[in-house]
Amino acid sequence: MFKPKAIYYEKDIENYELGKELLKKYEQTPKFLIESHNNIEEMRNKSNKEFLDMKRNLIIGIRKTHKFVENHKVSDYLVPYTSSGCTASCMYCYLVCNYNKCAYLRLFVNREQMLEKIIKTSEKSDRELTFEIGSNSDLILENTITDNLVWTIENFKNCRKGNLTFPTKFDMVDSILPLQHNGKIIIRISVNPEEIINKVEYGTSRLRGRIEAINKLKDADYKIGILIAPVIFVDNWKKLYHELIERLSCELSEKVKKDVFFEIIFMTYSYVHTKINEEAFPTSINLYDKNLMTGRGRGKYWYKSQLRDEGELFFRQELYKYFPQNKILYIV
């Protein structure tokens, strides 16, 4: 259970039910008033070395930007939702776009306003839309602090149309198992080989827990996807990912295997990640490999195309061998 070191909050959260609840829940935790969750002077001045310590704080505010962004993978829209950032510290996390602003967990208490916009858009549409509500954070983790996922499912289940989806690297799913969800929630669990989880995905759930969570969620009739993401081309990647897919085929229930779908995403990295990680995790693995990666503009790197092609072929063959009936939505 996450115990924040300090709470930084906007005064107006006191006008929202969730804001009041959180202030009460963390009555004993030191608190500091801030003007805006987007600009906390004290955090901006911290050094990269203090990255992990900074993540022990909790920021609470009101989300002001509600712009839906079109998306054409699993969902129709990426929707800014109830949190941003995370308490875990995956070394490649794409939310570390700007270390002093995006990395720590920020909670937004105006959830009614955000869900209402989703429901209105969904019901107005002439087709079934899917909304990605977890692209800025991890909602299973956030739910352990706010119960927002329980609240969201309960308030979305009767929406006349549409689905919600989110990815997660956490296994704390028990509170959503008994909920009635009317098949409108698609949960995508992200997995990686145990060795990569241990060395790179600090603070997330172990592989065993994630596999158990998938089976439990499927037993509760949620729609399930598996993200093998991000694929990291470490020296023995073929062996590790082969073992992962073989293990999934052994340990996932028959019910899951019947219709689970896959998404495969190769890791992207950046100059900012390199700088933060070499100071915040000086003894950890270096994920930037100049022999395997190439620039893609604005300080970002991805794997060279030959390696990505080899990876794509490998995953198509392995998944065909162990999951011949299941769809691969995309490999990128």
Q: Which stretch binds ligand SF4 (CB under 6 A): 85-93, 106-114, 192-200, 320-328?
A: 85-93
Q: Which is nearer to ligand SF4, 85 or 162 (CB)?
A: 85
User: Which 4-33 residues touch ligand SF4, going by CB under 6 A?
Assistant: none
> Which of 7, 60, 90, 224 is in the footprint of ligand SF4 by CB under 6 A?
90
Q: Which stretch binds ligand SF4 (CB under 6 A): 5-13, 84-92, 234-242, 312-320?
A: 84-92
Quote the least distance from Cβ 190 to ligand SF4, whole Å.
8
Q: Which is nearer to ligand SF4, 96 or 186 (CB)?
A: 96
Q: Which is nearer to ligand SF4, 90 or 244 (CB)?
A: 90
For residue 22 the two structure tokens come to 């959180």
Quote the least distance from Cβ 87 to ligand SF4, whole Å.
7
Closest-CA residue to 88 (of 133, 138, 134, 42):
138
Count of residues of this chain found to bind ligand SF4 when the rule CB under 6 A is applied: 10
Quote the least distance from Cβ 319 to ligand SF4, whole Å.
22
Q: Which stretch binds ligand SF4 (CB under 6 A): 64-72, 89-97, 210-218, 281-289?
A: 89-97
* Contacts for 191 with CB less than 8 Å, ≥ 6 apart: 207, 210, 211, 226, 227, 228, 244, 248
Encoded one letter per residue, x for contact with ligand SF4 by CB under 6 A and - for no contact, window 92-131 reads -x-x------------------------------------
Q: Which residue has the tokens 């499927």?
A: 218
Q: Which is nearer to ligand SF4, 10 or 171 (CB)?
A: 171
> Which of 34, 86, 244, 252 is in the footprint of ligand SF4 by CB under 6 A?
86
Interaction between residue 88 and ligand SF4 (CB under 6 A)? yes
> Which of 169, 184, 210, 223 is in the footprint of ligand SF4 by CB under 6 A?
169
What are the residues facing 226 on neighbouring strands?
189, 262
Q: Which is nearer to ligand SF4, 16 or 108 (CB)?
A: 108
For residue 314 the two structure tokens come to 């490998």
- Cα 63 from Cα 153, distance rounded (Å): 20
> Which of 165, 204, 205, 277 is in the footprint of ligand SF4 by CB under 6 A?
204
Residues in touch with ligand SF4 (CB under 6 A):
86, 88-90, 93, 95, 137-138, 169, 204
